[in-house]
Amino acid sequence: MPNYDYGCTKCGHEFEVSHGMNEKPRIKCPECGSSTKKLISACGFSIHNTRAKNVAQDRFKSETEKRADLRLNYGVEAVSPQPGFTFDDAYRDAKSTGSLVKDQIQQKREENEAKTREKRRKWAVGANKRAPKKSKIMKEKRAEADAAKRAIRLG
């Protein structure tokens, strides 16, 4: 929200108030409490250099593309240059050692998948052992329930 300068009509005290552009607030002087008047104040502006803006956008775009290249092709998730080095230096270094990193990541991924397969296999073996016991128990419960129903009908 923009800041506006106000001045007291009675004591001349000047102060700043922040409010929306479309608001018409009734502001009282913080010193004497009388009515105030909005003052004309200097406005801020900025000059946009199109060439500098384009250079910055190109640099950002190329850096973004390089980060995506490292992530997709070399398995490098994050690159942050050390003090005294540029992103391009870090990119070249990461690219030269990136295949080693990618191989390590792939190896770890395969190890994790093998562990997951082994866990699932063990669970399935245990479930198959438990299944006959569970089905036997369920058959006995059904037989008891049927017997109880027959007893009620006959009795």
* pLDDT tens sequence across 41-96: 666 555 466 776 666 667 777 878 887 887 777 767 777 767 777 777 777 777 77
Per cent of the chain over pLDDT 90 is 12
Residue 149 domain flag: no
Q: What's the number of domains the chain is made of?
A: 2
Percentage helix, strand, coil for the chain under 3-state DSSP, each rounded to 5: 60, 10, 30
Terminal alpha carbon distance of the chain: 86
**Which pLDDT does position 119 carry in this prediction?**
94
Q: Are residues 34 and 55 in the same domain?
A: no
DSSP structural state of residue 71: I
Tokens of 73: 């092709």
Which of 65, 81, 107 is where one domain is finished? Answer: 107
**Which pLDDT does position 41 carry in this prediction?**
66
How many Å is the Cα radius of gyration of the chain?
Answer: 38
Residue 24 domain flag: yes
Q: Are residues 25 and 65 in the same domain?
A: no
| Contact call for residues 8 and 33 (beta carbons, < 8 A) | no
Give residue 94's domain range: 50-107
Q: Are residues 23 and 54 in the same domain?
A: no
Per cent of the chain over pLDDT 70 is 82
pTM here is 0.30
Q: Are residues 65 and 33 in the same domain?
A: no
